[in-house]
Amino acid sequence: MARLDVSGWAKALRRETRPVLGICLGMQLLFERSEEGGVQTLGLIPGEVRRLPRPDGGVWPHMGWSRLTLERASPLTANLDEGAYAYFVHGYAADPGEATIASAEHGRSFSAMVQRGAVFGCQFHPERSADVGSTILRNFIELSDAALSGN
**Domain containing 105 — which CATH number?**
3.40.50.880
Domain hosting residue 120, numbered range = 2-149
Catalytic residue among 24, 62, 90, 106: 24
pLDDT tens for each residue of 91-140:
999 999 999 999 999 999 999 999 999 999 999 999 999 999 999 999 99
Distance CA 35, CA 43 (A): 14
Catalytic residue among 16, 105, 125, 142: 125
CB-based contacts of 131, cutoff 8 Å, min separation 6: none
**Antiparallel, parallel or unpaired: β 62-67 and 85-90:** antiparallel
Distance CA 92, CA 52 (A): 5
pTM: 0.94
Catalogue the long-range contacts made by 31-40 (C-beta closer than 8 Å, 24 or more residues apart): 31/94, 34/1, 34/92, 35/92, 36/91, 36/92, 39/1, 40/1
pLDDT tens for each residue of 54-80:
988 888 999 999 999 999 999 999 999
106 annotated active-site: no
With 0-12 / 13-18 / 19 or more C-beta atoms within 10 angstroms meaning exposed / middle / buried, residue 145 is: exposed
98 annotated active-site: no
Please provide the distance, in angstroms rounded to a whole number, between the alpha carbons at the two ends of the chain.
33
122 annotated active-site: no
Distance CA 12, CA 64 (A): 33
Q: Give how many domains the chain has, as a whole number.
A: 1
Catalytic residue among 32, 90, 127, 142: 127
Cα torsion through 90, 110, 30, 134, rounded to 10: 70
pLDDT tens for each residue of 12-40:
999 999 999 999 999 999 999 999 999 99
